[in-house]
Every structure is written in C-alpha cells, then in structure tokens.
C-alpha cells in the first residue's frame, strides 16, 4: 500500500513545483519524497499537468534527457495579462497621480508584491526557453518587478548602481546621457557578472532611453548579450527604440501639465 | 456528479492558496470555481491542511467570522530556517568575499530570488497576526528581501529614498547621522504612507544603526508605529540595540583587514 494517498501526493507536488518556477525536479525526487513507485508518480504528474491546464494556472512540462524531469512555468494565460494591466491602467488614470512637472506617481504600483509578481510573469513568459543567465535592472524603482521576473525564470537578479560602492568590490563604471541631458554614472560589480553571459533587461520606465542605453553599454563591457528589454511603462515614441526586442507593458503620452494622462496597455500584452 | 475530481480540486486549491500567502479565500470562492457543494470543498480543505502539515509546507488556517474563510501561511518549519541560513553562512565564509576596507561582498545573496524568498518567510512568520500595514525598507540592497517579506504578509512594500524625487510627489525628508559620521538625508513620499499605520522595518545590514534610526524617525513623522526591525546581517554589538524588537538573521564580527570573517546564524533562527 502506498504511504500517501493520491490527493496528498498531488497537493504536496503542486506546492513544490509551483513555488519553484522553471526549476527541473526529477521523477525520483518525488518517488523518494512519497515512497512511491515511478509509475504511480507519473500518473500523479499527468493529473496535475492536466489540472493546471484546465484551470489556466500555468504549465507543467516534462523535460526529457539526462537532466530530465518536470518543471512548472507560471505562463500567463490568454486574457490574464491584459486583465492585470487594464486594472493597473485604471488605477493610474486617477488624476491625483499627475504631479507637478508632468510626472506620474506610480511608485506604489511598482512595489506592490502581487502586481509586480503578475508583471514579472508576463515578462518571463516569453523567455523561458531563451537560456537567460540573469536579469539586469538599474536601481531603484525597477527592482521589485525585475526580482519577480528573475524568480519566475529561476535566474539571479543583478542590480546596476548609480555609483560604485565599497561593498560591491571592483566595478565597471560607464557614463551615460540622462533624459535631462546631464552626464550620469552607472556601475556594475565585476564579480556579479560572468563574461559572455545572456541578460534580460527589466526596468520601470523608458523615457528618453538614456538609462536603457547605459545598461546596454555596461553589458557590452562584460561581453554580455542583451536578449531583450522590458519596461513597465514607456513614452509613446517609436523613434526612441534602441533594441529590436524592446517592449513595454504600458504606453503613455507626454504629460501636459495638469491634463489627464493618456495611458494604454500595449497591444502585445495578451 | 461533481464536475471535477477531488485530485483536481485539491491541486487547483493548493496553487491558489499557496501563491497568495496570508490572503483569505472564502469557501464559496472554491465552491463556485469547482461547481461543488460546501461540504465537498470543506473535506478538500481538511485534506489539504493535513497534507501541508505532514510535509512541513506551511499552514492552512480556517478563519471564522463574517470575513472568514481560509488562508495559507508559508510558516518556516523548525529546522528549515536554520538550514537556509547555515547554507548562506557557508557561502559567505569564502575569503574572497572580504573586500578592501573590511567590507563583505554579499550583494549576490541579497538579490537571489530563492534565498531572499526564504529569508522573507522567516521574517514574516513572526508577524502574521501583528496587523502590519506595510513593510518599510531603505533603498537599495534590502529591497528584494523586504519585498518577499511583504508578499508573504500580503501587505505593500514602501521604499525610503536617499533624496526626494520629482516622481514621488511631496515627501517628508529627515536627516540622520550615517555610520561614517556624516549627515545624510532620507525621504519618504507623503502619499505612500497612511498616518497612524503599523510598519515592519526590513533591511540588509545593521552596522552603526544610523539608517535604522533614520527609518524610525521617518515613521514618527507619519505617526506610524514600528512593530519590529529585521535585518539580514548585523554587527556583533548589543549596545547598539535601538528597538526592543530588533533581530538579525546573521551576526558578524568587525572585519579586520584580510582576516577571515566570523559569521554565525543568530540563535533565534529555528
């Protein structure tokens, strides 16, 4: 007789797999955990995969080969990503969010765990098979959404700083032209990045593109490839495009002082 | 006949509950989701609660009353928190991490999604019933662990900045004495914080305590109560204690240049 019932095995397996996205677990891992035969656990896996599909809760994939097993990916299902972003746009349309100087207050949204987790899953969804080594962001506001993207992809997050810090060790510094036209510095710890690896850039806002260009320069210094750039928000202006694989979840027009902001969800968000 | 099998209901329920920690879901929510009777779903809940307990995967609690239902809490089980921290201490004991000036490199650990998630769960575990309104951190390095703590508690994260920013709106600025003896500024957006609410402070490092004192002053400006302060690392020096409810996961001695660092897991971590 089996030590645990199918119900119990499936509950435990759901917890293990869904809380470690994109990580491969072997069948043997669960056989040992439950003291059950491979055939039994295989059936459990099939039931779980089908259930996740039915309820649109992401996908459970079987990976074949020597390093094979199964892995969970919190794929954002059709309609789910768009629904989240429409909700955020509705929150942003509150006119009290327009600040003097034509700035939009959305720091609260950028550090709400549930919202950034949802946005991170949208970003990650396109990159599960891209062999990304790390997510790169520039301090400060993009850190939460970048962290959640990294968690879903099961890769580290690396944070570029505005200046080199003593506790980061030797660093590569570059200068870049900020949106306001000034020269600013961006710094990345030498030991944080492996030469020649692949990065996904995630940040909160693409205004003039200066910060984004700075991050690209930094990656070049490490001979790293940027496979894509993802932003929570971008100004409506396709001329500023600097990477063929550059997208934002939302697009806004320049704010004219005091006027209501025009913000919309980007078309690619499903 | 029920629309879904017990296996399927339990798998879906596990996913919903464990991915939204500390959030209350009503029984009706699942009855509608599955098209099943309350008695049926109640039995599912009982099985799931028992299974999570058996596998030490956190707790599923039933909340009674008008706003009742059930909620999942990723309680760190006895031994689990300590095992995680011992693993991190082992990583930190690599002598190549000691930087010139007696600093320790641990930025990589502070932005590793899995490690910060585990540390956040240890912090959250003590505060599930404390009625916390938000987690407060100071930019930059503590943001990931503070975000994961906030996610587990199902509250927002609020980030204090080194200076007030145009896109944060009006802000309260305070000055504080940094560890190096200089005067620094800390800023918190007015609209981010509700007067009189309760905060848990989470940060990466407690050295001289200047930053921590700064955050306490900021909270006072908003008439907010600090229910506790949690740090990933602190220097061994109880004289610096500034809040009766102040703890760190790890303790280290002052680094003498080039000498191996003495780091240990704090006794309270189980």
Quick: pLDDT tens for B44-69: 999 999 999 999 999 999 999 888 89
Per the CB < 8 A criterion, the answer to whether B143 and B96 are in contact is: no
Q: Which domains does chain A have, with CATH numbers?
A: 6-73 (1.10.10.10), 80-265 (3.40.50.2020)
Backbone angles phi, psi at B26, to 5 degrees: -80, 160
Most confident of A66-70, A169-173, B223-227, B262-266: B223-227
Q: What is the arithmetic mean of pLDDT over A191-217?
A: 93
Alpha-carbon span B150 to B164, nearest angstrom: 23
Rg of chain A taking only CA atoms, in angstroms = 21
B137 compared with A168, residue with greater pLDDT:
B137
DSSP for B194-241, written as a single string: -TT-EEEEEEEEESSSHHHHHHHHHHHHTT-EEEEEEEEEEES-GGG-
Per the CB < 8 A criterion, the answer to whether A155 and A146 are in contact is: no
The length of chain A, given as a count of residues: 270
Query: A103 to chain B, minimum CA–CA distance in Å?
Result: 5
Across the interface, do A150 and B116 touch by the CB < 8 Å criterion?
no
Alpha-carbon span B94 to B203, nearest angstrom: 23
DSSP for A148-159, written as a single string: HHHHHHT--EEE
Among the listed residues A2, A4, A22, the one whose alpha carbon sits nearest the alpha carbon of residue A12? A4
Which residues in chain B have Cβ-Cβ distances shorter than 8 Å to A189? Answer: 105, 107
Can you give the pLDDT at residue B249? 97
Alpha-carbon span A133 to A151, nearest angstrom: 12
Per the CB < 8 A criterion, the answer to whether B85 and B269 are in contact is: yes
Can you give the pLDDT at residue B228? 96
A13 compared with B253, residue with greater pLDDT:
A13
Q: Percent of chain A scored above 90 by pLDDT?
A: 74
Residue A110's SS3 state is helix
Q: What does the pLDDT look like over B20-37, one tens digit per residue?
A: 999 999 999 999 999 999
Residue B94, C-beta contacts closer than 8 angstroms, at least 6 positions apart: none
Q: What does the pLDDT look like over B152-209, one tens digit per residue?
A: 999 999 999 998 888 888 999 999 988 777 899 999 999 999 999 999 999 999 988 8
Can you give the pLDDT at residue B80? 87
B262 compared with A137, residue with greater pLDDT:
A137
Which residues in chain A have Cβ-Cβ distances shorter than 8 Å to B51? Answer: 4, 7-8, 11-12
Kindly state the DSSP code that residue B161 receives in the 8-state scheme: B
What mean pLDDT, rounded, does chain B reach? Answer: 91
Q: What is the arithmetic mean of pLDDT over A24-44?
A: 96
Across the interface, do B107 and A168 touch by the CB < 8 Å criterion?
yes
Q: Compute, in degrees rounded to 10, the torsion defined by CA atoms A68, A26, A118, B150.
A: -140
Q: What is the arithmetic mean of pLDDT over B245-265?
A: 80
Q: What does the pLDDT look like over A109-126, one tens digit per residue?
A: 999 999 999 999 999 999
Which residues in chain B have Cβ-Cβ distances shorter than 8 Å to A8? Answer: 47, 50-51, 54
Q: What does the pLDDT look like over B62-108, one tens digit per residue?
A: 999 888 899 999 877 778 899 999 999 999 988 888 888 778 899 99
Can you give the pLDDT at residue A136? 98
Across the interface, do A157 and B111 touch by the CB < 8 Å criterion?
yes
pLDDT at A80 over 90: no
Kindly state the DSSP code that residue B76 receives in the 8-state scheme: P
Q: What is the arithmetic mean of pLDDT over A145-158?
A: 98
pLDDT at B241 over 70: no
Q: What does the pLDDT look like over A209-238, one tens digit per residue?
A: 889 999 999 999 999 999 999 999 998 865
For B191-230, letters b (16+ CB in 10 Å) and e give: bbbeeebbbbbbbbbbbebbbbbbbbebbeebebebbbbb
CA angle, residues B43, B48, B50, in degrees to nearest 5: 95
Residue A227's SS3 state is strand
Choosing among B2, B7, B47, which should be mutated to test the A contact, i.e. which has the most A CBs within 10 A? B7
Q: Percent of chain B scored above 90 by pLDDT?
A: 74
- Residue A20, number of CB atoms within 10 A of its CB: 17
Can you give the pLDDT at residue A57? 92
Q: Which of B8, B15, B112 sits opposite A18 (nearest CB)?
A: B15
Q: Where are the alpha helices (DSSP H) in chain B?
A: 6-18, 27-34, 38-54, 80-92, 107-110, 113-125, 143-153, 210-221
Q: Residue A262 — pLDDT band, cuts 50, 70, 90?
A: confident
Which residues in chain B have Cβ-Cβ distances shorter than 8 Å to A114? Answer: 20, 151
Can you give the pLDDT at residue B18? 96
Q: Per the structure block, which two tokens stand in for B96?
A: 């190549």
Among the listed residues B11, B6, B153, B205, the one whose alpha carbon sits nearest the alpha carbon of residue A15? B11
Which residues in chain B have Cβ-Cβ distances shorter than 8 Å to A161? Answer: 140
For chain B, helix, strand, coil in percent to 5 are 40, 25, 35
Alpha-carbon span B225 to B219, nearest angstrom: 7
Query: B45 to chain A, minimum CA–CA distance in Å?
Result: 11
Across the interface, do A151 and B113 touch by the CB < 8 Å criterion?
yes
pLDDT at A101 over 80: no
pLDDT at B42 over 60: yes
Per the CB < 8 A criterion, the answer to whether B147 and B120 are in contact is: yes
Residue A189's SS3 state is strand
Can you give the pLDDT at residue A47? 97
Residue A64, C-beta contacts closer than 8 angstroms, at least 6 positions apart: none
Q: Which of B10, B116, B140 sits opposite A7 (nearest CB)?
A: B10
Can you give the pLDDT at residue B180? 72
Q: Which of A51, A114, A191 sits opposite B8 (nearest CB)?
A: A51
Per the CB < 8 A criterion, the answer to whether B30 and B8 are in contact is: no
Can you give the pLDDT at residue B98? 84
Per the CB < 8 A criterion, the answer to whether B70 and B16 are in contact is: no
List the single residue in B with minimal CA-CA distance to A18: B15
Q: What is the arithmetic mean of pLDDT over B136-144?
A: 97
Residue B47, C-beta contacts closer than 8 angstroms, at least 6 positions apart: A7, A8, A11, B6, B10
Burial bucket for residue A172 (CB in 10 Å: 0-12, 13-18, 19+): middle
What mean pLDDT, rounded, does chain A reach? Answer: 91
B42 compared with A78, residue with greater pLDDT:
B42
Structure ipTM: 0.94
Can you give the pLDDT at residue A239? 54
Can you give the pLDDT at residue B255? 62
Can you give the pLDDT at residue B259? 59
Q: Compute, in degrees rounded to 10, the torsion defined by CA atoms A254, A256, A261, A267.
A: -20
Residue A133, C-beta contacts closer than 8 angstroms, at least 6 positions apart: A155, A194, A197, A198, A199
Q: What does the pLDDT look like over B242-252, one tens digit per residue?
A: 777 899 999 99
Can you give the pLDDT at residue B121? 95
Q: Which of A15, A54, A156 sits opposite B108 (nearest CB)?
A: A156
pLDDT at A178 over 90: no
């Amino acid at each position: 007789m089996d030590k645990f019932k199918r119900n119990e095995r499936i509950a435990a397996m759901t917890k293990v797999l869904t809380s470690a996205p994109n990580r491969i677990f072997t069948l043997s891992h669960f056989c040992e955990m439950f003291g059950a035969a491979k055939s039994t656990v295989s059936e459990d896996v099939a039931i779980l995969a089908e259930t996740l599909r039915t309820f649109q809760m992401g996908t459970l994939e079987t990976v074949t080969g020597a390093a094979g097993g199964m892995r969970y990916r919190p794929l954002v299902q059709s309609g789910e990503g768009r629904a989240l972003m429409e909700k955020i746009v509705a929150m942003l349309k509150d006119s009290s969010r327009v600040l003097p100087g034509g700035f939009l207050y959305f720091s609260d949204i950028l550090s709400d765990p549930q919202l950034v987790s949802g946005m991170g899953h949208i970003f990650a969804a396109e990159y599960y098979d891209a062999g990304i080594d790390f997510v790169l962001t520039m301090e400060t506001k993009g850190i939460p959404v970048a962290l959640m993207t990294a968690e879903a992809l099961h890769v580290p997050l690396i944070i570029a700083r505005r200046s080199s810090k003593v506790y980061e060790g030797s660093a590569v510094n570059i200068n870049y032209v900020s949106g306001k036209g000034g020269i600013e510095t961006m710094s990345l710890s030498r030991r944080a990045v492996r030469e020649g690896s692949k990065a996904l850039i995630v940040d909160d806002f693409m205004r003039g593109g200066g910060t984004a260009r700075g991050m690209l320069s930094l990656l070049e210094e490490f001979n790293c490839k940027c496979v894509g750039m993802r932003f929570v928000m971008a100004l409506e202006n396709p001329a500023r495009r600097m990477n063929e694989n550059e997208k934002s979840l939302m697009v806004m027009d320049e704010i004219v002082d005091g006027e209501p902001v025009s913000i919309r969800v980007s078309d690619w968000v499903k």
